[in-house]
Amino acid sequence: MKFDKRIWGIGLGVLAMILRYILSFFPQAVETLYSRGLYKMVRVFFDSIHSVLPFSALYLLVGWLLVSLYFGFKKWRRSERTFFGKSRQALFTILSLAGWIVFLFLILWGFNYGRIPMATQLKISPKPLKLATVVNELKSRETELIKLRSNISGAVSDKSFSLAALPRDMEEHLRQGLENQLLQLGYPQTGFPTVRTGYPKGVIWGFGAIGFYNPFTGECNVDPAVHPVDRPYVLAHELAHAYGFGDEGTCNFLAYLTCKNSNHPFIRYAGVFNYWQYLYYSYRRSDRANFKEFYKTLSPGLKTDILAIEANNAAYPDFFPTSFRIATYDAYLKAQGVSDGYASYSQVVMLVYAWENR
């Protein structure tokens, strides 16, 4: 009997999942052997390809999938088996493909979810903030933001910022800034991840993300529709994923540190502003009555930027219902060991507060 090569995909996928489960009990092994070991080689491999590739590898990946699907469907139709036989073979092929996806995902990046939490390595204890603490933090950051905004050339209170406010070398600026932060925190900085933004506006957004790290291509992808005030923070967040961090709260924390410690006035403002937004929306959800009074006293410049971002976001609706998108991603994160799931994004507030008050 001829050996069916599709078994390789199923077998490797199952073995990878078993290994992932076992390693969940040994985060130190993941940290040492994978995140600070094998993944560094993966990073160098991808970056050497991106340094010569003039366009996003995502196009090659999608093209290959479409071509494979086309020829696979033709082969399925031409098969002389019965419909039941062809369906069984198609299911076997799908299982094999799923196995390869799981195996490659974990080997190329996914094992990073099992590394030692950053809070543990930094010896801080993030805890949920009481509402009174959130309000105090919100107001103190407002004072800081007013000052930061006044240092930006051409800033006016009744108009938000355009792309002209961004530095031309922003990607390199953020990458170098993030590497400096990682060095100070005791992490390796191997590689030079690439950020791709050359997509039609709203395409990535429509699938429920303004940016994402693609573990199969090693690239950071950011939708060009992202508002300029949000863009530096989003780019830094995706670069943090590329350097081997899976947890969303951790990547937000690294993005905050990278932007806040930048020597570029606009990037510094954008970093603190994005952190401030988490406080802002947390307060609005928790205490609407008092929030309305706070909003009346809000600095005109900050109010202008908030409204501009909300208007920009509303212009790019999701392709799928928001509840479905959040539930799906929440399930994915929890499957990777992120206990807070989708809510982990908001952990940046706890991490920043614990870090700056350590």
Residue 135: inside a domain, yes or no? yes
Q: Which of 108, 109, 103, 84 is nearest to 10 (CA)?
A: 103
Q: Is the pLDDT of residue 201 over 70?
A: yes
Same domain, 250 and 303: yes
Instruction: Let me know how long the chain is.
Output: 358
Q: Do residues 109 and 199 both lie within one domain?
A: no
One-character DSSP codes across 173-210 = HHHHHHHHHHHHHT----S---EE--S-TTHHHHTT-S
Q: Decide if 109 is inside a domain.
A: yes
Same domain? For 145 and 267 the reply is yes
Q: In the prediction, which pLDDT does 341 show?
A: 47
Number of structural domains the chain divides into: 2
pLDDT tens digits, one per residue of 221-249: 999 999 999 999 999 999 999 999 999 99
- Summarised one tens digit per residue, pLDDT across range 240-284 is 999 999 999 999 999 999 999 999 999 999 999 999 999 999 999
Q: Which structural domain, as residue segments, surrounds residue 73?
A: 6-114
A 10 A CB-CB count for 38 gives 13
Mean pLDDT score across all residues of the chain: 89
From 95, 114, 133, the end of a domain falls on: 114
At how many degrees (to 10) do helices 131-150 and 347-356 cross?
80
41, 138: one domain? no
User: Is 70 exceeded by the pLDDT of residue 175?
Assistant: yes
The sheet that has 195-196: what strands, in order across it? 195-196, 219-222, 211-214
CA 39 – CA 108 distance, rounded (Å): 7
Query: What span, in angstroms and rounded, lies between the C-alpha atoms of 90 and 71?
Result: 13
Instruction: Check if the beta carbon of residue 344 is closer than 8 Å to that of residue 247.
Output: yes
In this structure, the answer to whether residues 67 and 138 fall within a common structural domain is no
Decide which of 52, 85, 114 is a domain's last residue. 114
